[in-house]
Structure 1
Amino acid sequence: MLRDVLTGGRQGMSRETVFKAAATVLGAIAGAAVVDGFLREPFQLDVTRLTIASPWLPTGFDGLKIVQLSDLHLHHISRAYRTAIDVIRRERPHLVVITGDLVDRSEETSACLAFLAELRAAAGAPVVVVPGNWDHRAFPTKRSIAAWHERLQAETGIRVLANQNVVLRRGGDRMWLVGTDDPYFGHADLDASFKGVPDTAFALVLTHAPEAFEELAERPAARLVLAGHTHGGQVRLPFVGAVRVPSRYGTRFARGLFKLGDTFFYVNAGMGMSHLPIRFLCRPELTVLTLKKPVAVARSV
């Protein structure tokens, strides 16, 4: 009996030790995750490189290099934003695009304007932005957001496209650059955005959120669509992925490359953060996309 008591005591102590050790390990993991999510990842930058091959790409645009940023939510220019400017300077792209959510509040525009002016100078190429839902929150009236866009263009030399399109010319060929207003809050007008764009054209479409992906896939000219908004989920878990994405599609288009019909879609994970200043397993992203015509393979007879 005494042996049973002693044995049970040793087992109890063993279980207690195991529980304490497990709690210590879990606490350490949680602490490391907090440090990583709040203090490390938001200041780092992932550079994603993609080549998009499309048979509809005009020959003159073969090799066109595009850099995409999204969701700046800029309060101050941190190390990740400095790194982005350095990458853009090295890459020497033909075009830089920013797919919405430049600012959170109307009184916090100075850092954004300074960053965009520096980015424009570093790029040495056209820079185009489209509005996002947070831009409309910061400037909630038509007059206020129009004034913001005018100021943005005047002070930085960056072009704003909101339900508009422009023609790009290169090597004697034409390509359309289409920019929608924010679809998340319902400001996108696809008919206005594609006005004058031939169905047979190659259109690069910039839109803030994935909300209009299925409608855009039905537009014959929409060959490549770039979006953001999701922040990649901002917090991702191993084996689970994005915990939550503010989209009618849920986590379906959280981040990365997709294809619907003949249209490619890319969702950038964004630079900034909203609601909570955390990124976990989802660092800020800069995307370098190169457009190519498919290589014809000769068939033997």
Structure 2
Amino acid sequence: MCRDVLTGGRQTMRRERVLGATAIVVGALAGAAAVEGFLREPFQLDVTRLRIASPSLPPGFDGMKIVQLSDLHLHRISRAYRMAIDAIRKEHPSLVVITGDLVDRADETAECLAFLTELRAAAGAPVVVVPGNWDHRAFPTRQSIAAWHERLQAETGIRVLVNQNVVLRRGGDRIWLVGTDDPYFGHADLDASFKGVPNTAFALVLTHAPEAFEELAQRPAARLVLAGHTHGGQVRLPFIGAVRVPSRYGTRFARGLFKLGDTFFYVNAGMGMSHLPVRFLCRPELTVLTLK
């Protein structure tokens, strides 16, 4: 009887020690994850470099370098945004594009305009923006968002494309730059966006969210599509990836390079954050794409 009591007591003490040690380890991991997600990663920057080869690219655009940013959600110009400006200055791009969600609120535009002005000067190249769903939240009427775009262009020299396209020329060659309005809230009009674009052309398409990927893949001219919106999931877990992505595709197009038919799609993980000020295993991203 005594032996049974002693043995049971030892086992209980052993279990308590194991549970205590486990709690300490779990607590330490949770604390480390919180520091990483809230205090470190949001202020760092990943630079992703890609070469996109297409037989449809006119020879004059071989080697064209495009820098993509997305989802600024700009409240203040933090270290990550400073790093992005420095990276752009060093890259000497031919074109800089920003695929939506510049601001969250109409009263937070001053920092955004200051950042974009500095970015435009650092780029030494054209900068083009398309709207995102948070831009429409900040400016919910057609008149207010049009006024915001007009102000943005006037104060920064940046071009805003809203269901429009422009021709880019190099020597005797040309490609089309197509910019859609936000597809997540249903503002994208692909017919208007591609108006006048020949089916045989090479079109670089800027759109905020992956919502229109399958429709864009049916457009013969759409050779490369750049998007954002997903924040890469913003919180990613080892072996699992993005926990949640606000998209009709779920996590299918959370971030990275994809191909549907003959069209390449790239989803940038974005610079900023929404809802919670956290990024875990998903640092802010600047993408450098070289066309071949």
TM range (shorter): over 0.9
Does 2:36 align with 1:36? yes
Does 2:93 align with 1:93? yes
TM-score normalised by length of structure 2: 0.99
State the Cα distance separating 1:4 from its structure 2 match. 2.2
Q: Which residue of 2 aligns with 1:254?
A: 254
Question: C-alpha distance in 2, partners of 1:61/1:151?
Answer: 31
Question: C-alpha distance in 1, partners of 2:120/2:252?
Answer: 33
State the Cα distance separating 1:7 from its structure 2 match. 1.8
Question: C-alpha distance in 2, partners of 1:215/1:257?
Answer: 17
State the Cα distance separating 1:10 from its structure 2 match. 1.2
Q: Which residue of 1 aligns with 2:118?
A: 118
State the Cα distance separating 1:161 from its structure 2 match. 0.2
Q: Counterpart of 2:66 in structure 1: which amino acid? A: I
Q: Which residue of 2 aligns with 1:17?
A: 17
Q: Which residue of 1 aligns with 2:290?
A: 290
Q: Counterpart of 1:81 in structure 2: which amino acid? A: Y
Q: Which residue of 1 aligns with 2:72?
A: 72
Q: SS in structure 2 opposite 1:10?
A: helix
Question: C-alpha distance in 2, partners of 1:130/1:273?
Answer: 18
Question: C-alpha distance in 2, partners of 1:229/1:48?
Answer: 17
State the Cα distance separating 1:2 from its structure 2 match. 1.6
Question: C-alpha distance in 1, partners of 2:244/2:172?
Answer: 45
Question: C-alpha distance in 1, partners of 2:3/2:64?
Answer: 80
Q: Which residue of 1 aligns with 2:206?
A: 206
Q: SS in structure 1 opposite 2:106?
A: coil
1:135-190 per-position Cα deviation (integer Å, ceiling 9, x unaligned): 00000111100000000000000000000000000132000000000000000000
State the Cα distance separating 1:3 from its structure 2 match. 2.1
Asked if the contact 1:61–1:171 (Cα under 8 Å) also holds between the matched residues in 2, the reply is no
Identity %: 88
Q: Which residue of 1 aligns with 2:46?
A: 46
Question: C-alpha distance in 1, partners of 2:273/2:291?
Answer: 29
Asked if the contact 1:72–1:103 (Cα under 8 Å) also holds between the matched residues in 2, the reply is yes
Q: Which residue of 1 aligns with 2:237?
A: 237
Q: Which residue of 1 aligns with 2:136?
A: 136
Q: Which residue of 2 aligns with 1:264?
A: 264
TM-score normalised by length of structure 1: 0.96
Q: Counterpart of 2:205 in structure 1: which amino acid? A: V
Q: SS in structure 1 opposite 2:282?
A: coil
Question: C-alpha distance in 2, partners of 1:271/1:66?
Answer: 17
Asked if the contact 1:168–1:174 (Cα under 8 Å) also holds between the matched residues in 2, the reply is yes
Q: Which residue of 2 aligns with 1:83?
A: 83
1:71-114 per-position Cα deviation (integer Å, ceiling 9, x unaligned): 00000000000000000000000000000000000000000000
Question: C-alpha distance in 1, partners of 2:59/2:157?
Answer: 28
Question: C-alpha distance in 2, partners of 1:58/1:187?
Answer: 31
Q: Counterpart of 1:167 in structure 2: which amino acid? A: V
Q: Counterpart of 1:3 in structure 2: which amino acid? A: R
RMSD: 0.5
Question: C-alpha distance in 2, partners of 1:252/1:100?
Answer: 20
Q: Which residue of 2 aligns with 1:27?
A: 27
Q: SS in structure 1 opposite 2:288?
A: strand
Q: What is the count of residue pairs matched by the alignment? A: 292
1:202-222 per-position Cα deviation (integer Å, ceiling 9, x unaligned): 000000000000000000000
Q: Which residue of 1 aligns with 2:192?
A: 192
Q: SS in structure 1 opposite 2:51?
A: strand
**Which runs of structure 2 are paired with 1:157-196 in the superposition (5 Å)?**
157-196=157-196
Q: Which residue of 1 aligns with 2:148?
A: 148
Q: Which runs of no fewer than 5 residues in structure 2 stay unpaired? A: none
Q: SS in structure 2 opposite 1:277?
A: coil
**Which runs of structure 2 are paired with 1:219-230 in the superposition (5 Å)?**
219-230=219-230
Q: SS in structure 1 opposite 2:10?
A: helix
Question: C-alpha distance in 1, partners of 2:51/2:8?
Answer: 64
Q: SS in structure 2 opposite 1:137?
A: helix
Q: Counterpart of 2:109 in structure 1: which amino acid? A: T
Q: Which runs of no fewer than 5 residues in structure 1 stay unpaired? A: 293-301
